[in-house]
Amino acid sequence: MLCGDTVAVWEVALSDGVFRIEFAHGTTTGKRIVSINGKEAVRRDWMFKLVGKETFTVGSAETRATISIEAVGGFAYEYSLEVGGKSLQKFTDNRAKTTKTWLLKVDGDDYRVVLEKDTMDVWCNGEKMDTTGEFVDDGTETFFSLGEHECCIKATSSGGRKKNGIVHCLLLDGQKVAASTQ
């Protein structure tokens, strides 16, 4: 865990999980510590330059992330996070278009299922799932299992409404699961 110099905390949702990034900045020593999910990823002690950037990777795909430190007058600093070369907000907005996420409880266990729309890869609790896909009359169906349960992600046309494009829904044992925002 970080020391009392924690100045910023961000949450980044990737296909293999939601990562909590914490940044500690010692404004007198220049110390910089980046922690991801409570584990130290970067440590720099005694930096003479108090502003600048720290770059590191997040998740199993080693997505590049950069924290920018800028002086905003006196001894005040502003911190921002870029993920995959985009501001966190732009990255999050883009992921909302390219992925679909469902949070569900099955047999008392919590699951986070993520569909990467461009590759049709399915991730569950940080692991890429073995899937089988097939074409059906109104789109595609991608099958995988959660324990003893059959899951299917149906991709169907929105029926000419261009704004919606292809609609993805998750079925667990034939029952529709509500999508999540993360």
| Residue 128 predicted with pLDDT over 70 | yes
Task: Dump pLDDT digits (tens) for 34-70.
Answer: 999 999 999 998 767 788 899 999 999 999 999 999 9
Q: Which domains can be identified in the chain, with CATH numbers?
A: 6-84 (2.40.128.180), 97-177 (2.40.128.180)
Cα→Cα distances 178→100, 109, 160, Å: 11, 17, 23
- Phi/psi class of residue 120: alpha, beta or left (left: φ > 0; alpha: ψ in -120 to 50)? left
Least confident of 11-20, 23-32, 65-74: 23-32
| The length of the chain, given as a count of residues | 182
Per DSSP, the residues of 82-150 read: EETTEEHHHHHHHHHHHEEEEEEEETTEEEEEEEETTTTEEEETTEEPP-EEEEETTEEEEEEEETTEE
Measured distance CA(83)–CA(73) in Å, rounded: 26
Tell how strand 39-44 and strand 52-58 pair up.
unpaired
- pTM to 2 decimal places: 0.84
Task: For residue 102, name the pLDDT band (cuts at 50, 70, 90).
Answer: very high
pLDDT for the residue numbered 46:
77
* Tokens found for residue 30: 């220049």
pLDDT for the residue numbered 182:
61
